[in-house]
Amino acid sequence: MAENFSVDEQVAIPAVLSTPRFLTFLSATNNNVLKALQLYHWNSQISAAFLYPLHVFEICLRNAVANAAESAYLTPDWPWSAAFEQSLPTARRFSPRQELIDTRDWQPRPRQTTGKVIAELKFAFWVSMYTGRHDGRLWDNYLRREYPNLPQGMTVAAAREKIHRSADKIRDLTGC
């Protein structure tokens, strides 16, 4: 944390940041504004370092689901498949079915595309696609195709569960 901030920056930057956000850093540094700004800067650098690998990880997850769904539902328009929609659970905290409907239907077709829906669905949606409820429809047939480097001795269910656990940990880390 070698970043130094001028006296003017020590006044201006906290004024621009939200008070609750900056209070977190002040609390961690015993109300030392300079140290809080250095910690904030360090936190920003760590966040930036995680951005690219998290981005690639999410794309890998969602592309595997999209490829499997297109094969399983026999259409590139699988987000509009009634069978796919009905395969998704509804829940109070997060409803993958409602997430799909809201994302898919916010813009009328033909302007809305499968690619746009894929890009707009939340990370939590993609993580939810790696639960056991999708083994029969998606993963029993397509997990090894989508993840060709899975250990040969590992069952599809065990491999899918490992992917789900890893993705869920990342979801917890990112708050998505």
> Could you report the per-residue pLDDT of 64-103, keeping only the tens digit for each?
999 999 999 999 999 999 999 999 999 888 999 999 999 9
Supply the pLDDT for residue 2.
Answer: 53
- pLDDT computed for residue 125 by the predictor: 97
Name the one residue in this structure whose structure tokens are 């029993």. Answer: 140
The values of phi and psi at residue 64, to 5°, are -65, -45
* Residue 44: predicted pLDDT: 92
Is pTM beyond 0.85 here? no
DSSP state of 132: G
- The confidence score (pLDDT) of residue 52 equals 93
Residues in the chain where the model's pLDDT stays below 50: 1
DSSP assignments along 51-94, one per residue? HHHHHHHHHHHHHHHHHHHHHHTTSTTGGG-HHHHHHS---SS-
What pLDDT score was predicted for residue 18?
85
Residues 6 or more apart whose CB falls under 8 angstroms from that of 79 comprise 100, 104, 114, 117, 118
The DSSP letter of residue 156 is H
Q: What is the pLDDT of residue 79?
A: 97
Q: What is the pLDDT of residue 164?
A: 97
Q: What pLDDT was estimated at residue 76?
A: 96
Residue 118 tokens, joined = 């894929």
The 10 Å CB-count burial string (b at 16+, else e) for 30-57 is: eeebeebbbbbbeeeeeeeeeeeebeeb
